[in-house]
Amino acid sequence: MAISLRSDSAKGYALSMPAVVYVGFLVAVPLALMVAHSFWTQDYIDINRELTLENYRQAVDDPLIRLLLIRSVVIAGLVTGLTVLLAYPIAYFIAFKTQKKALWLILVTIPFWSSYLLRVFAWKLILGYNGVLNSGLLTVGLIDEPLSFILYNPNAVVLTLAHAWAPFAILPIYVSLQKIDPSLLEAATDLGNTAIERFLRVTLPLSIPGVIAASLIIFIPTVGDYVTPALVGGADGKMIANLIQVQFGAANDWPMGATLSIMAILVVAFVAAVFVISLRSAGRRIR
């Protein structure tokens, strides 16, 4: 008995080993290294391994860092809001208004068939000074000279990311809408509700889990995105990740880069928690 038990638990450990190794080396160790770095300091070309809060003090005092953090959260919030707002009607359409669900779901994933970088470049081509949009408007005669406010600013970042993330928002919202039992909607109608009241009192609250999932999937990576702001954001569109990149690269201050990363993680976690809790309680208040 004891032997078989031991071999069972040994089997269990053996089976979980690949996952432990994978998660341990690729997630836990790098994260621990980053936390450690954030308490160290850069001493010219060496790293001073004395534990200190100096980096955090500097970062909190620096108005530029504060500005970039706030801007990152605001831009990510706008991207999330816009994406979810645009995705919801599409998910609703696929879930309730069409028989060709498979076809539409495949169409939704089409942007994924090209690389993320290419999609950002495509927006650059569309929004640029001599881009598709400007030359189109010039040809039609709606404008006399190319618009310059559409590229290299935060709007361009929001627009580009809202497009890039669309499938990430559509799919979870679609799943949560799809799960709604149609007889619940009929029951709401039967109990005297118009189509709009039915949506607000039944469909919307029941799809909140999907909205939360979509929002987190978009918000978290957007705060840390640096490709899009670097390519289409211009000077006003730079975000915290661009600064972190500089710290690890040109500035060669890994401890400061790690500190900024940890701060970004904490801010994201805080904002996401507040968002989830308030959305959930809002959903619960609908009766």
Partner 1 sequence: MESDAPIVVVKDIEKRFGNYVAVSDFNLDLKQREFFSLLGPSGCGKTTALRMIAGFQQPSKGEIFIDGAPMRDVPANLRPTNMVFQSYAIFPHLNVADNVGFGLRKKGLSRQEIDQQVREALEMVELPNLGTRKADELSGGQRQRVALARALVMRPKVLLLDEPLSALDKKLRETMQLELRRLQQSVGITFVMVTHDQYEAMTMSDRIGVMFQGKLAQVDTPKRLYSAPLNREVASFVGSMNFLKTSLRAEAADVLRVEADGVGPMAVKRNPYGIESGHEPLVGIRPEQLEIGTAQPSGYDVAVKGKVTNVAFYGESIHYYVGIDGQDEPCAVAVTNYFHTVDHQVGDDVWIGFQNSSVIDLGKYQETGSPGF
CA distance 2 to 13: 16
177 binds partner 1 (CB under 8 A): no
191 binds partner 1 (CB under 8 A): yes
CA distance 95 to 89: 10
141 binds partner 1 (CB under 8 A): no
Least Å distance, CB 223 to partner 1, is: 30
194 binds partner 1 (CB under 8 A): yes
Q: Which stretch binds partner 1 (CB under 8 A): 26-34, 92-100, 189-197, 221-229?
A: 189-197
Joined together, the tokens standing for residue 169 give 């928002």
Contact 152, 200 (CB under 8 A): no
Q: Which stretch binds partner 1 (CB under 8 A): 13-21, 109-117, 191-199, 246-254?
A: 191-199
87 binds partner 1 (CB under 8 A): no
Least Å distance, CB 285 to partner 1, is: 11
Q: How many residues bind partner 1 (CB under 8 A)?
A: 21
Binding track, positions 43-82, relative to partner 1; x by CB under 8 A: ----------------------------------------
- Choose which of 105, 122, 147, 189 interacts with partner 1 (CB under 8 A): 189
Joined together, the tokens standing for residue 108 give 């939704």
Q: Among residues 18 and 192, whose Cβ is nearest to partner 1?
A: 192
Binding track, positions 247-286, relative to partner 1; x by CB under 8 A: ------------------------------------xx-x
Contact 259, 38 (CB under 8 A): yes
Q: Footprint of partner 1 on this chain (CB under 8 A)?
A: 181, 183-184, 186-194, 197, 201-202, 205-206, 283-284, 286-287
